[in-house]
């Protein structure tokens, strides 16, 4: 009796089995990758290595009138310091929502077409810069009031007398009242982006640091120059302290801009006077001023690591 040898699987069957095995292996890889991605997301990491940077702030951040303006609603320039910082560092994705006229309230409240600034801070945000508080203490109204009063007593201190007429300096109170508002902003940033590095950017040197004046080029009374200089320093000191108390780093822009205030000649100044000679808003940094602030931020970034864990 002859015994036949049973043939092996036919070729089509073998091909189907091979294909099925490859599909199963492929599914396993997809599942593994998805699980790995989910674990990374849970740890706050991302599969890419780009730095996600969000810029929050007012007109000193947005750069009104500095070419090239890219947002008319917020008077935002693509040569403001956040843009320059992003251009200098590798693999940075910038979301700049700074807006002229912003106060701490605008971190939660829209300004025209600019939504609440904090909405741009997300869990995958790596870096946040915050420059806010100047409008909370009343920068614009202070400048307007002091300029108007100067004609009544150009050698005296009519502005200081005005703000201290109640017996207590109103501008000192304004700075103190703004401190908890800035602290609230920083707490909100940390809550939305727990791993982000947060930098509080101070304000530049607007007036001569030695207290001298330049009336009528900058129309403040002679003895109001040191008074307004001290108000700016008080604001920056408050920002430094609030940053330290709220797990943020402070970026000094006053020191790097000292000696280039609005009283200097056009070729030497980085802050424009009330009648600007360079494209910039009155009493605001020009393009050079934004560049110097960018360098201050970059220097601060070079002194520490990336995310906080």
User: So which residues are the catalytic ones?
Assistant: 59, 284
Q: Give one DSSP letter per residue of 198-242, joined into a string.
A: EEEE-----S-TTS---TTTS---TTHHHHHHHHHHHHHHHHHHH
CB of 57 closer than 8 Å to CB of 95: no
Q: Please tell me the distance from the alpha carbon of residue 213 to that of residue 115, in angstroms, as a whole number.
A: 40
Q: How many residues does the chain have?
A: 309
**CA 164 distance to own-chain centroid:** 32
Question: What distance in Å separates the CA atoms of residue 115 and residue 130, rounded to the nearest whole number?
Answer: 16
Question: 82 and 117 in contact (C-beta within 8 Å)?
Answer: no
């Amino acid at each position: 009796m002859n015994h036949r040898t049973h043939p092996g699987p036919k070729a089509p069957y073998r091909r189907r089995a091979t294909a099925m095995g490859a599909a199963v292996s492929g599914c396993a890889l997809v599942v593994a990758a998805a699980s790995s991605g989910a674990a990374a997301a849970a740890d706050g990491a991302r599969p890419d290595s780009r730095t996600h940077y969000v810029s929050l702030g007012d007109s000193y951040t947005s750069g009104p009138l500095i070419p090239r303006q890219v947002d008319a609603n917020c008077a935002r320039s693509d040569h403001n310091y956040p843009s320059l910082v992003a251009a200098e560092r590798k693999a940075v994705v910038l979301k700049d929502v700074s807006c002229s006229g912003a106060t701490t309230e605008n971190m939660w409240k829209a300004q025209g077409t600019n939504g609440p600034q904090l909405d741009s801070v997300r869990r995958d945000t790596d870096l946040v810069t915050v420059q806010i508080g100047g409008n909370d203490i009343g920068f614009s109204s202070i400048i307007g009031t002091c300029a108007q009063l100067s004609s009544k007593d150009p050698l005296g201190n009519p502005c200081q007398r005005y703000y201290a007429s109640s017996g207590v300096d109103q501008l000192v109170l304004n700075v103190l009242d703004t401190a908890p508002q800035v602290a609230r902003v920083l707490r909100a940033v940390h809550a939305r982006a727990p791993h982000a590095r947060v930098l509080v950017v101070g304000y530049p040197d607007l007036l001569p640091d030695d207290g001298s004046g330049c009336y009528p080029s900058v129309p403040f009374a002679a003895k109001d120059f040191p008074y307004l200089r001290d108000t700016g320093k008080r604001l920056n000191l408050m920002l430094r302290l609030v940053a330290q108390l709220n797990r943020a780093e402070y970026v000094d822009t006053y020191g790097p801009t000292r000696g280039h205030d609005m009283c200097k000649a056009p070729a030497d100044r980085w802050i424009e006077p009330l009648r600007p000679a360079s494209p910039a808003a009155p009493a605001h940094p020009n393009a050079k001023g934004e560049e110097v602030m960018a360098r201050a931020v970059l220097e601060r970034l070079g002194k520490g690591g990336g995310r906080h864990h």
